[in-house]
Amino acid sequence: MIPFCDLKTQQLILKDNLDKRIATVLEHGQYIMGPEIQELEKRLSTFVGSKYALTCSSGTDAIQLVFMAMGLQPEDEVITTAFTFVSTVEVLALLKLKPVFVDINPDTFNLDIDQIEKKITSKTKAILAVSLFGQTPDMEKLETLSKKYGIKLIEDAAQSFGATFRSKKSCSFGYAGTTSFFPAKPLGCYGDGGAIMTNDESLFQTMSRIRSHGQSQKYKYSHIGVNGRMDTLQAAITLAKMDIFDEELLKRDAIAEQYTKGLSGIGSIKTPIVEKDCFSAWAQYSICVENRDDLIQFLANLKIPTAIYYPYPLHTQEAYLYLGYKTGDLPITEEISQKIVSLPFSPYLKAEDQTIIIEAIKRFYRC
């Protein structure tokens, strides 16, 4: 079986560094908020080019911390996409905010910026843009919109840590950028973890308190908070992985290019489009195809795994029907969710395996 996401090879490469990092934590014993947390936060903010970085327990909590710190009112509106992992929308719903969906751009699968303006009302407080599969939307256009209407721009960059838009890093735009260190993300730890990057000092201070039960001093609580800290061990692992992260981003890009070269013009396949100002972190390599289910079965028989991100758009999900959307409201989102399929991908995908995958897909389309 070709691995869908090869984490083993990376672990072998990093073994010594990981062992050393983990041993250090076991020695000092500060499992919660140990020195690796600050070290990682410093490293993340330097990498991204933001003033502050705050680690937290997951990419989901990262979004939640930002929206909790904003102190919004129930029914305040947040413009976002239904073509994303559920966290993006789940957090808004939990906080009694109202997700307002715009459709997506069929080339990038990110929210269609041209549709945002007509959704803005007096209750709109934020745009939550998702940088899907590793590529940001046009962050400059989004920053301009957010300034024009006095609403906050937040980037859900769970899939795009390491990406750039016009030489600025994903997570460095707008009010805040959130990311995830779930193992299969471009920068992953060995459990759950996440971070928020921002240039806003007051947001940073408030989120720091909320992350630790809303505590302002020991046993004094200024905010209603959560237990949202990242484990020291996970920070240590993430630090080890950052040593080779830039190299891995280049490997990801080269592997994506190989796929695109091999699959362009084959059958009905639409290979991913990276816009000219973007460098993608390639969280996934996703193609759009006709007769997807047959292709997936054909590849599965050859021990080639695939995945569908995402088969059911969020506005059609049972838990979110209360928002009042119906099938047909977001036609591009709905169409893409039936055509999209992601191929095995990691910086360590072997060239011979990639050739096997490309040749198998060509055979399926008989060319």
Ligand X SMILES: *Cc1c(COP(=O)(O)O)cnc(C)c1O
Nearer to ligand X (CB atom), residue 45 or residue 178: 178
Residue with smaller CB distance to ligand X, 2 or 157:
157
CA dist list (Å): 354 to 178, 184, 330, 343, 361 = 31, 19, 34, 10, 11
Sole binder of ligand X in the list 36, 76, 192, 334 (CB under 6 A): 192
Choice from 158, 233, 287, 357 touching ligand X (CB under 6 A): 158
Please say whether the beta carbons of 102 and 329 come within 8 A. Answer: no
**Quick one: which segment of 30-38, 79-87, 218-226, 345-353 binds ligand X (CB under 6 A)?**
79-87
Binding part of the chain for ligand X, among 1-9, 39-47, 70-78, 152-160 by CB under 6 A, reads: 152-160
Region of 95-103, 155-163, 204-212, 245-253 interacting with ligand X (CB under 6 A) = 155-163
Contacts of 196 (CB under 8 A, 6+ apart): 53, 54, 56, 62, 65, 66, 176, 177, 178, 179, 207
CB of 309 to ligand X, least distance (A): 8
Give the type of residue at 331: P
190 binds ligand X (CB under 6 A): no
Indicate the SS3 state at residue 33: coil
Q: Is 170 in the site for ligand X (CB under 6 A)?
A: no
CA distance 96 to 154: 18
Which stretch of DSSP H or E encloses residue 251? Answer: helix 245-263
Which of residues 84 and 172 has its CB atom nearest to ligand X in the complex? 84
What is the footprint of ligand X within residues 88-147 (CB under 6 A)?
88, 130
Are 309 and 340 contacting, i.e. CB atoms less than 8 angstroms apart? yes
41 belongs to the binding site for ligand X (CB under 6 A): no
Sign of CA dihedral 122, 60, 46, 140: negative
Q: For residue 189, state whether it binds ligand X (rule: CB under 6 A).
A: no
Encoded amino acid at 267, one letter: G
Site size for ligand X (CB under 6 A): 15
Using rule CB under 6 A, residue 159 touches ligand X: yes
